[in-house]
Chains A and B, each alone.
Chain A
Amino acid sequence: MAQTLIMTKAMPLGDMVFIIVAFLLLMLILKKVAYGPLTQVLDQRADKINKDLDEAAQKSQDAASLVDQRVKELAQSKDQASQLIATAKKSAKEQSDSLIQAANTQVAGMRQSAEEDAAQMKDDAMNTAKKDVADLSVQIASKLIQKELSADDQRALIDAYLAELGQQ
């Protein structure tokens, strides 16, 4: 009886020490084998998820700003294009206007010079004709009247006469 009592008193301490030491060892082993790697991987995963989310946000922001930029650029190029077209139209019109004007003036000038030429030629023809007629008349008259009037007198007479004719 005394023996068993001593045994039951002596037993617990050894077992308790064994259990606690074994448990602490188990903790160490598990830390090395499972807990350490697992927590590390969980942390890494959390980091990765955070990073990916940040990246995604950044990317969508970038994309939005790119879209803005493109839209702005598009509007700008549209403006530029319409400006270009407008200036092209304007310059074309100016050019055609100036061309037309130049042509008009040229035509006008040509007509004027033609008219002038015509008038000149008419005058010349008239003058020559007058002179020829006068000479001819003088010759005829001198032949007819046999030098009663001087040639100059005759011419003056005929000129006057012709002038009268011209006025009529």
Chain B
Amino acid sequence: MDEATSTFSFLGLTFTWTTVLSTLLAMTVVVLLAVFLTRKVAIRPSRGQNVIEYVLDFIRGILGDQLPNNLARQFGLYGFTLFLFLVVSNEMGLLLQVKNASDVTLIKSPTADPLIAFSLAIMSLTLAHATGIKTLGFGGYLKNMFLKPYAAMFPLNVVEQVTNFLTLALRLFGNIFAGELMLNLLASMAFSLHGFGWIAALPLEMAWQAFSLLIGGIQAYVFVMLTAVFTAQLSGEE
């Protein structure tokens, strides 16, 4: 986190190159993937269409388990985009980490950056709270959020709302960040021991990459599912 960064300013806001480049790359990959898999969309699906239909079905399953039908439909596009973006983001750093000459990381997993994880969490929770207000009205929303199951739970409920936000963001960030940190440690181990470290480091790196691949998928799934769970809680569905 105390890595060297390189920033630029635009419209009075400061942007970090790492964030911008990594996010844009991940999104480009998502778009290319989506375009590639939906070249020929037909009622009789081709192989590519089957893959993306499976993803869509998977997301609808997650949302449908937590939310009532109309909300699940409304959240379809959001969950779909979120899941694809998170999967690509989580796995990206396993294959690609780019640093420039002055050792500033330009490209890594976007979700290994706490700021990005928090931004996504803020977005998801804003959506969840907005849905709660829309469904229950403002008064009903506040009552549902703070005074359930009974008024005495108020302090705990306040804490819960804060921890919801923190855990949503930190779970994602922590998993991906730790995965990449470990990969980097193993990679530096490969260059130690007079150049023979790779003999031990290579199998370990491979094993850890496989594990991180799994973790990345699971975290994408968990993030989408928690978004659905919080939305359901905040709109009084339980």
Contact = CB atoms under 8 A, between A and B. Distances in A.
Interface of A: 7, 10-20, 22-23, 25-27, 29-31, 33-35, 37-42, 44-45, 48
Interface string B11-30: 00111100110011001001
Contacts, number: 108
B14 A17 contact: no
B59 to A, nearest CB: 10
A82 B237 CA distance: 73
Given A30-B31, A33-B34, A20 B20 contact: no
Nearest to B37: A34
B131 interface: no
B122 interface: yes
Contact of A34 (B20, B34, B78): B34
Interface stretch (B80-88, B184-192, B210-218): B80-88
Contact of A41 (B14, B30, B42, B82): B42
What is the interface of chain A mostly: helix, strand, loop, or mixed? helix
Given A16-B115, A23-B81, A30-B84, A11 B123 contact: no
Interface in B108-155: 110, 115-116, 118-120, 122-123
B122 A35 contact: no
B34 A19 contact: no
A111 to B, nearest CB: 94
Contacts of A15: 15-16, 19-20, 115-116, 119
Contact of B76 (A25, A39, A40): A39
Chain B interface bracket (under 10, 10 to 19, 20 to 34, 35 or more): 35 or more
Contact of A20 (B15, B84, B123): B123
Which of A13, A15, A20 has the largest count of B CB atoms less than 10 A from its CB?
A15
Interface of B: 5, 7, 9-10, 13-16, 19-20, 23-24, 27, 30-31, 34-35, 37-38, 41-43, 45, 49, 52-53, 56, 76-78, 80-82, 84-85, 110, 115-116, 118-120, 122-123
B77 A31 contact: yes
A23 B119 CA distance: 10
A44 to B, nearest CB: 6
B35 A38 contact: no
Contact of A18 (B23, B31, B118): B23
A30 B77 contact: yes
A1 to B, nearest CB: 13
B38 to A, nearest CB: 5
Given A30-B77, A42-B56, A16 B35 contact: no
B30 A30 contact: yes
B24 A35 contact: no
A26 B116 contact: no
Contacts of B41: 37-38, 40-41
A14 B34 contact: no
B123 A23 contact: yes
B123 to A, nearest CB: 5
Contacts of B53: 38, 42
5 contacts: A10-B13, A11-B5, A14-B10, A19-B119, A38-B52
A74 to B, nearest CB: 42
B74 to A, nearest CB: 12
A7 to B, nearest CB: 7
A14 B38 contact: no
A33 B43 CA distance: 16
A45 B34 contact: no
Contacts of B14: 7, 10-11, 13-14
